[in-house]
Amino acid sequence: MIDMILDVTIIGFALFLSFISWVAYKKSGMKSILFLLLAFLLFGIKKALENLHILTKVNEGTLEITATLLELIILLLFFIAVVKKD
């Protein structure tokens, strides 16, 4: 039960960070912040997908591969956000 509460909190926090990034992007127009926005959104989606097996019957192997690929994309987006010069 506590793990579900933590997961919902993490998803909410990822969405909050996405919103903050969107506001910052609108104010500054910096492309690097857009990459952060996408990374935070994908992180929330990844966490939601990890809990999808609770609601539906999903192949655990497919879910594991999808979550791992999302982690790779998230890390790549964070890297781009750090090294990109606006």
pTM passes above 0.75: yes
pLDDT of residue 54: 80
Q: What is the pLDDT of residues 4-54, one digit of tens each?
A: 899 999 999 999 999 999 999 999 999 999 999 999 999 999 999 988 878
Predicted pLDDT at 33: 95
What is the predicted pLDDT for the residue at 84? 85
Which position has the token pair 């039960």?
1
Listed in sequence order, the DSSP H helices in the chain are 2-28, 31-50, 52-55, 60-83
